[in-house]
Amino acid sequence: MKNSRRIFVTLATVTVFVLASLPSLGHGQERGAAKATVGKAHVSLDYGRPELNGRDMLGKMQAGAVWRIGANEPTTLTTDADLDFAGKRLPKGKHILLTRLAEGGKWSLLASTKGAFQFEESGVLGEIPLTLTTAKDSVEELTITLTAQGDKGTIEIAWGTARLTGTFACAK
C-alpha cells in the first residue's frame, strides 16, 4: 500500500512538471496581433510568433517559394472595408497572408483564400510588393506591425535582422 501511494505521488509530481513545461517546448505557440485604422478601414492581423533560434529562415527561401508567415495557424488579415492592394481591390473580410520570393530576390505579400499548404495561384485576391532591408538590431520572435497615415497603411514583417515592408491603401 505504501509503495502504491509513493508511486502515485511520484507520477503526479512528474505529470505536473511536464504539463507546466509544455508551453515552452513548442515553437511559435504565442500569437501576435496588430491593428490600425487605414482611412475608414479597421484592419487587424493575427499571426503566430515563432522564435528564430539562430536560424536564417529568409535565407533558406528559394525563388518561387510561398512562405506562410508565422507558425501554427495561418496569419490572417481582417478588414471591415475594401483595401487597395497595388491597384487591385481586396474585398472586406478575413484573408490569409503569405509572402512569395520571386526571381531576382523580389518579395511580395499575398492575400489569399488558401494557406501555404493548399496554395493555388487562383486563390490570390491581392498582392503588394515588399522591400527587404537589413536592420542593425535582431528580433528573436517574428513581429508584424501595421501603421497608418491617412488612407495609406504600412505592414512590416520583422524577424532576425530582416525587415519586409509594403504599403496598401483604403479603397476609394
* pLDDT greater than 70 at residue 51: yes
What is the chain's Cα-based Rg?
A: 20
Say whether pLDDT at 94 is over 60. yes
Domains of the chain, residue spans: 27-170
Reported pTM: 0.81
As a whole number of angstroms, the longest Cα–Cα distance in the chain is 77
Q: Is the pLDDT assigned to residue 56 strictly greater than 90?
A: no
The residues near 145 (Cβ < 8 Å, ≥ 6 apart) are 34, 155, 156, 158
Task: Mention every residue, 6+ apart, whose C-beta is less than 8 A from residue 110.
Answer: 66, 97, 98, 99, 100, 124, 126, 127
Q: What average pLDDT does the structure give for the chain?
A: 86
